[in-house]
Structure 1
Amino acid sequence: MHTLVVSYHAPTDPAAFDAHYSGTHAPLAAKIPGLRAFTTGHAHAMDSGDPAFYMVAELVFDSAADMAAGMGSPEGTAAVADLPNFAGAGTTMFHYEVADRM
């Protein structure tokens, strides 16, 4: 399995971010070919400080090649093109091959 992680920086208007994400962006992302699982959640710090990110999404594919193909598809391109519409504070993205499961 191969996972793409998208970490969203804190938006200036959380309510508008959440509305766009659930109403527009998540449905776009859910159509990416090869996507096996798609989870999201708002981040919480382990201490009393602010979390490093506002929200995190994980997109799971069978392989890095499937991720590349899905993200390069028209559906993947549409999801990426939507980011400026709600994620003006920016994102941090990375991906990894799942090495071990416990």
Structure 2
Amino acid sequence: MVRFLVLYNKPVDIEAFERHYREVHIPLAKKLPGLRRYSRSRHSVPVRGGEPYYLVAELEWDSMEDIKKAFQSEEGRATAEDMANLEKLSPGVHSMIYELEEM
């Protein structure tokens, strides 16, 4: 299992961010080939202090190969291009890809 994690800071305009995320970005991302799960959580609680993230999104694929194909697809390029819009509304977005290992 491979997970794509996106961490959003508090938006400069919460209403505009929420509208764009809900009406534009989620529908784009849900079209990504091979996507198994898309979840999000709000207002994380930092363990060691600091500011909490406003929104955390997690997207899952079966393999690293699957996520690479998804990101290289037409849908993947459209979703990546739309991230520029979200970054304007929530500056300092962080993201990472990692493989899960069962323990």
Q: What's the TM-score, normalizing by structure 2?
A: 0.87
AA aligned opposite 1:35: L
Q: What's the TM-score, normalizing by structure 1?
A: 0.88
In 1: Cα distance, 2:11 partner to 2:95 partner: 16
Superposed CA RMSD: 1.7
AA aligned opposite 2:29: A
| Structure 2: gaps of 5 or more residues | none
Cα deviation 1:29-56 (Å, max 9, x = unaligned): 00000101011121332578630x2111
Select 2:94's aligned residue among 80, 92, 95: 92
AA aligned opposite 1:13: D
AA aligned opposite 1:32: L
Name 1:2's counterpart in structure 2: 2
Name 1:50's counterpart in structure 2: 51
In 2: Cα distance, 1:42 partner to 1:87 partner: 17
Name 1:66's counterpart in structure 2: 66
User: More deviation in 83-92 or 27-36?
Assistant: 83-92
The count of aligned residue pairs is: 100
| Structure 1: gaps of 5 or more residues | none
In 1: Cα distance, 2:8 partner to 2:36 partner: 21
Cα deviation 1:52-91 (Å, max 9, x = unaligned): x211111100001100110110001101100122222131
